[in-house]
Amino acid sequence: MRILVLGGSVFLGRAFVTEALARGHEVTVFNRGRSGPDLPGTVTVRGDRHNAGDLAALVQRAPGPDRAWEAVIDTSGQQPHAVATSARLLREHASHYVFVSSVHAFARWPDRPVDEDSPLHDCPADSPPGLPFSTALKAGCERSVIEQFGTDRSTVLNCGLLIGPHESIGRLPWWLERTARGGRVLAPGRPDLPIQLVDARDFAAFGLDLGERGVGGRFVTTSLPGSSTYGELLTACAAASGSNAELVWVEDQRLRAAGVRPWSELPLWYPEFDDNGSAGAIWRADSRAAAAAGLRCRPLAETVHDTWAWLQERGPREEPYTQGLQGDVLGIDPQKERRILAGEL
């Protein structure tokens, strides 16, 4: 197949390209060339998806006598206007469009469980360019794709939390590096808390399967609820690095009282209950439809092991991991961690 990947050099995009090349597909990647090197074996087209001229030039590079791709994999759509522009130009040059969205597109997440029928945020298709970031934008991006390709020729993958080798955000890498240092490790919440994580390689394999078969529709794409726990994750991190880390579990209430920031200071941690005592649903995305359609998630320990192996190959990172518009640094300050473990906070 002839496949176009919008993005394709970092983490999930890289996983899609790697899988597509392994299957023998002809892969074109379209990106700015700023985030990382493109994989050998791809046809590279440089450009910015926010620039209509660059997108028009991309269409001129479409392969084959019909100047068309059989599938588009969009891993980089963040602004509805940019997604609408690309989908509009590619509508006559691609048979199927696979768009990587997020569970953030659902209006009730993470307060309530979500599935494919859950309502989306109210963000129109083709919203004006340059909108400030919000979780609602993904919903507008989805509508932009469906408006151009229809529900039969488009697939929307509402992505859960991705982990695996080449992770660019750094949540799992941070935990691996922290447990590798050994000693008493602040473990948040409770070890039996069910979590939902999906290896980017499994996500990409599933998305390509759907693109190859031309399967339309929406899929909440993450592991099944209850498939793993926080304790299994951190235990696997310690085992992969061969450390003597001692996991010390500290309840949510104490962490909140100590001012620990969810997601950033302790990556992948989010309190089970809010200030009003209501339980959130961050780990309750119903992914049964994706599993029935062929999503297969490898054991969590395998993903952790492979990510540790990649970290050893990559070598030490000079810059800290950051996330969000404010560039929050991932990871708790060692002194603050020690004070919490000592009961001083």
Among 35-39, 70-74, 86-90, 250-254, whose mean pLDDT is lowest? 35-39
Residue matched to tokens 């498939």: 227
Q: What percent of the chain has pLDDT over 90?
A: 87
Give me the pLDDT at residue 260, please: 97
- Read off the pLDDT of each residue in 114-134 and give the average, rounded to a whole number: 91
Residue 278 has pLDDT above 80, yes or no: no
Domain ranges of the chain: 2-159, 169-195+227-282+299-341
DSSP 285-309: B--HHHHHHT-----HHHHHHHHHH
Please write the tens of the pLDDT for every residue from 219-254.
999 999 989 999 999 999 999 999 999 999 999 999
Q: Which alpha helices (DSSP H) does the chain contain, by range?
A: 11-22, 52-60, 80-90, 137-149, 171-180, 200-213, 230-241, 252-257, 288-293, 300-314, 334-341
Q: What percent of the chain has pLDDT over 70?
A: 98
Topology of domain 2-159, per CATH?
Rossmann fold (3.40.50)
Read off the pLDDT band of 325 (50, 70, 90): low
Give me the pLDDT at residue 131, please: 83
CA–CA dist 296, 316 (Å, integer): 31
Read off the pLDDT band of 280 (50, 70, 90): confident
pTM, two decimal places:
0.96
Please write the tens of the pLDDT for every residue from 43-83.
999 999 989 899 999 999 999 888 999 999 999 999 999 99
Write down the CATH number for the domain with range 169-195+227-282+299-341: 3.90.25
Residue 306 has pLDDT above 70, yes or no: yes
Give me the pLDDT at residue 276, please: 62
Residue 138 has pLDDT above 80, yes or no: yes
CA–CA dist 337, 345 (Å, integer): 9
